Structure 1
Amino acid sequence: MAENAAPPPRQPADRPTRSTVRSLLRLRTYAHPIRWFLAGSVTAALLASGAVLLVPLVLGRIVDGPIAHHDLAGLWPLFTLLLVLGLAEAGLFGLRRLLIARPLARVEAAMRGDLYGKLQRLPVAFHDRWPSGQLLSRATSDMYTLRLFLAFPLVFLIVNSLMFLCGTALMLSLDWRLGLITLLPSIPLVLLCTHFEKGYSAASRTAQDQNGDLATVLEESVLGIRILKSFGRQRTMARHFRERADRLRATELRKTWMLADLWAVIVGLPELALGGALALGAVRVAHDELTAGTLVAFLSTALALRWPVESMGWLLAYSNEASTAADRFFDVMDTPEEPAPTERPAPRRRDGIRLTGVRFRYPDAPEDTPDLLRGVDLHIRSGETMALVGATGSGKTTLTTLLPRLYQATAGTITLDGQDIRLLELPELRSRLAVAFEDPILFSATVRENVLMGAPGAGEQALERALAVAQAGFVHQLPLGPDTEVGEQGLSLSGGQRQRLALARAVVGDPEFLVLDDPLSALDVHTEALVEAALREALADTTALVVAHRPSTVMLADRVAVLADGVVLAVGPHAELLESCPQYRELMSGAMEESVTR
Structure 2
Amino acid sequence: MTDLKDPPQLRTTDDTAPVRISTFGTLKRLLPFARPAIPALLASGVTAGIATLAGLAFPLVIQWIIDGPLTDGNASGLWLPGAVLVLLGVVEAALFWVRRMLAARPTMRVEADMRSALYDKLQRLPVSFHDRFPAGQLLSRAVSDLATIRRFLAFGAVFLVVNVLTFVIGVAVLLVLSWQLGLIIAALALPLVVLCLLYETKYQVLARRSQDQVGDLATTVEESVLGIRILKAFGRSAHLGREFRREAIALRTTEIRKAKAVSVLWSTVIALPEIALGLILFLGIRQIADGTMTAGTLVAFFGTAMGLRWPIDSIGWLLAIANESATATHRYFEVLDEPEPITDPAHPVVPGTSRGSLHLRGVGFGFTDAEATGKLLHGLDLELAPGETVALVGATGSGKTVLTSLVNRLHDVTEGAVLLDGVDIRDMELAEVRRRVAVAFEEPVLFSASVRENVLLGRPEATDDELAEALRVARAEFVHDLPWGLDTRIGEQGLSLSGGQRQRLALARAVVGRPEVLVLDDPLSALDIHTEAQVEAALRSVLGSTTALVVAHRASTVLLADRVALLAGGRIAATGTHSELMARVPAYRDLLASREEVGA
Q: How does 1:115-126 map to 2 (within 5 A)?
A: 115-126=118-129
Cα deviation 1:414-445 (Å, max 9, x = unaligned): 11111101111111100000000010000000
SS of the residue corresponding to residue 90 of structure 1 reads helix
Which whole-Å CA distance do the structure 1 matches of 2:261 and 2:513 have between them?
A: 59
Aligned 8 A contact 1:382 1:543 in 2: yes
Which whole-Å CA distance do the structure 1 matches of 2:68 and 2:596 have between them?
A: 107
Which whole-Å CA distance do the structure 1 matches of 2:514 and 2:110 have between them?
A: 40
Which whole-Å CA distance do the structure 2 matches of 1:502 and 1:436 have between them?
A: 6
Deviation at 1:15, TM superposition (A): 5.8
Q: What is the alpha-carbon root mean square deviation over aligned residues?
A: 1.3
Cα deviation 1:269-322 (Å, max 9, x = unaligned): 111011101100001101111000000000000000000000011000100000
**Is the aligned partner of 1:316 residue 2:303?**
no
Specify whether residues 300 and 59 from structure 1 end up closer, same or farther in structure 2 by C-alpha distance, changes over 3 A only: same
Deviation at 1:360, TM superposition (A): 1.1
Specify whether residues 7 and 566 from structure 1 end up closer, same or farther in structure 2 by C-alpha distance, changes over 3 A only: farther
Specify whether residues 581 and 554 from structure 1 end up closer, same or farther in structure 2 by C-alpha distance, changes over 3 A only: same
* Counterpart position of 2:99: 96
SS of the residue corresponding to residue 362 of structure 1 reads coil
Deviation at 1:16, TM superposition (A): 4.4
Deviation at 1:43, TM superposition (A): 1.1
Q: How does 1:505-520 map to 2 (within 5 A)?
A: 505-520=509-524
SS of the residue corresponding to residue 557 of structure 1 reads coil
SS of the residue corresponding to residue 363 of structure 2 reads strand
**Is the aligned partner of 1:491 residue 2:491?**
no
SS of the residue corresponding to residue 373 of structure 2 reads coil
**Is the aligned partner of 1:148 residue 2:145?**
no
Residue identity matched to 1:291? T
Which whole-Å CA distance do the structure 2 matches of 1:185 and 1:346 have between them?
A: 69
Alignment equivalent of 1:457, drawn from 461, 477, 485? 461
Aligned 8 A contact 1:344 1:423 in 2: yes
* Counterpart position of 1:258: 261
Alignment equivalent of 1:40, drawn from 37, 40, 43? 43
Please identify, of 197-206 and 169-178, the stretch whose mean Cα deviation from structure 2 is larger: 197-206
Q: How does 1:205-354 map to 2 (within 5 A)?
A: 205-338=208-341, 339-342=343-346, 344-345=348-349, 347-348=351-352, 350=355, 352-354=357-359
Aligned 8 A contact 2:12 2:208 in 1: no
Q: How does 1:155-174 map to 2 (within 5 A)?
A: 155-174=158-177
* Counterpart position of 1:470: 474
Which whole-Å CA distance do the structure 1 matches of 2:368 and 2:210 have between them?
A: 29
Residue identity matched to 2:520? L
* Counterpart position of 2:430: 426
**Is the aligned partner of 1:369 residue 2:373?**
yes
Cα deviation 1:107-137 (Å, max 9, x = unaligned): 1111101100000000001111111000000
Aligned 8 A contact 2:365 2:375 in 1: yes
**Structure 1 gap ranges (5+):** 1-5
Deviation at 1:100, TM superposition (A): 1.5
Cα deviation 1:511-544 (Å, max 9, x = unaligned): 0000000000000111100100110011111000
**Is the aligned partner of 1:561 residue 2:560?**
no
* Counterpart position of 2:3: none
Deviation at 1:567, TM superposition (A): 1.2
Specify whether residues 414 and 7 from structure 1 end up closer, same or farther in structure 2 by C-alpha distance, changes over 3 A only: farther
Which whole-Å CA distance do the structure 2 matches of 1:527 and 1:295 have between them?
A: 93
State how many pairs are aligned: 590
**Is the aligned partner of 1:593 residue 2:597?**
yes
Aligned 8 A contact 1:8 1:130 in 2: no
Residue identity matched to 1:388? L
Please identify, of 208-217 and 15-24, the stretch whose mean Cα deviation from structure 2 is larger: 15-24
* Counterpart position of 2:12: 11
Specify whether residues 344 and 28 from structure 1 end up closer, same or farther in structure 2 by C-alpha distance, changes over 3 A only: closer
Between the two proteins, what is the percent identity of the paired residues? 56
**Structure 2 gap ranges (5+):** 1-6
Which whole-Å CA distance do the structure 1 matches of 2:206 and 2:144 have between them?
A: 16
Which whole-Å CA distance do the structure 1 matches of 2:106 and 2:185 have between them?
A: 39
* Counterpart position of 1:3: none
TM-score of the aligned structures, taking structure 2 as reference length: 0.96
Cα deviation 1:87-124 (Å, max 9, x = unaligned): 11000000011112111111111110110000000000
Aligned 8 A contact 1:348 1:419 in 2: no
Which whole-Å CA distance do the structure 2 matches of 1:201 and 1:239 have between them?
A: 29
Deviation at 1:412, TM superposition (A): 1.2
Which whole-Å CA distance do the structure 1 matches of 2:81 and 2:373 have between them?
A: 85
Which whole-Å CA distance do the structure 1 matches of 2:437 and 2:287 have between them?
A: 89
Aligned 8 A contact 2:356 2:420 in 1: yes
Aligned 8 A contact 2:356 2:547 in 1: no
SS of the residue corresponding to residue 10 of structure 2 reads coil
Specify whether residues 436 and 351 from structure 1 end up closer, same or farther in structure 2 by C-alpha distance, changes over 3 A only: closer
Residue identity matched to 1:275? G
TM-score of the aligned structures, taking structure 1 as reference length: 0.97
Aligned 8 A contact 1:184 1:273 in 2: no
* Counterpart position of 1:386: 390
Q: How does 1:178-189 map to 2 (within 5 A)?
A: 178-189=181-192
* Counterpart position of 2:61: 58
Q: How does 1:530-549 map to 2 (within 5 A)?
A: 530-549=534-553
Deviation at 1:348, TM superposition (A): 4.2
Q: How does 1:107-122 map to 2 (within 5 A)?
A: 107-122=110-125
Residue identity matched to 2:468? E
Which whole-Å CA distance do the structure 2 matches of 1:131 and 1:15 have between them?
A: 21
Q: Which runs of 4+ in 1 moved over 4 A?
A: 13-16, 346-351
Residue identity matched to 1:314? W
